[in-house]
Amino acid sequence: MELRKRSFFERLTGSLRVPEEEPEGKRISIGKGEKVDKKNGNWMAEENDEAELAVDVYQTATDIVVQTMVAGVKPEDIELTIARDIMTIRGKREENRNVDEENYFIKELYWGKFSRSISLPQEVEPEEVDATERHGLLTVRLQKVDKEKKNTVRVKSI
């Protein structure tokens, strides 16, 4: 065992550092769809994974409103699937640049498939939906189910 000076934290808590033993070249999971190659430290995105959209969900008196950024995606390339208690947004952001990888200094923008399924806080009418996109902001208004609404039906004699 090699002797080394203990860190301030180790001296303060009385703990010892346990060395990590990872096989050479093993990949470890960093986040959804991202891996780091321990051999040479390169970040890689897995080909089949979809990015997850960040969303804001709030309510008005009559609607549930979902907002998300979809900049760079054509409205016809966005798919909305709505049930009474869940909504899914899917799409794909296409990269149209022809730049060699070695010419990048920083590459943080996400290109590829994305999706997000949202459990809605209240039942909605799947047929009563208004979806608009303006300046990259997708706004989906879902009409709440009015459980207090009553309908009187007149019985007919045939």
Give me the phi and psi of 39, to 5 degrees please.
Answer: -65, -50
Distance, CA of 66 to CA of 140 (rounded, Å): 5
If you ran DSSP here, which 8-state letter would residue 19 be given? P
How does residue 45 score in pLDDT terms, banded at 50, 70 and 90? very low
- Residue 65 in any domain: the answer is yes
Does one domain contain both 68 and 139? yes
Neighbours of 27 (CB within 10 A): 13
* Residue at 155 is within a domain: no
Task: Identify the DSSP state of 77.
Answer: G
Domain that holds residue 80: 51-144
* Segment 128-154, tens digit of pLDDT: 899 999 999 999 999 998 777 777 788
3-state secondary structure of 81: strand
Q: Is residue 110 part of a domain?
A: yes
* Domain co-membership, 59 together with 83: yes
Place of tokens 């798919």: 79
This prediction has a pTM of 0.61
Tell me, yes or no, whether 91 lies in a domain: yes
Q: Is residue 2 in some structural domain? A: no
Reduce the DSSP state of residue 65 to 3 states and report it.
strand
pLDDT of residue 53: 87
Residues 57 and 115 in one domain: yes
The CATH number of whichever domain residue 132 belongs to comes to 2.60.40.790
Q: What is the pLDDT of residue 38?
A: 45
Is residue 56 one of the residues assigned to a domain? yes
Same domain, 93 and 129: yes
Total domains in the chain come to 2
Q: Are residues 68 and 94 in the same domain?
A: yes
pLDDT in tens, 9-37: 666 666 666 666 555 544 444 444 444 44
DSSP readout, 90-137? EEEE-------GGG-S------EEEEEEEE-SS-EEEEEEEEEEETTE
pLDDT of 66 higher than 70:
yes
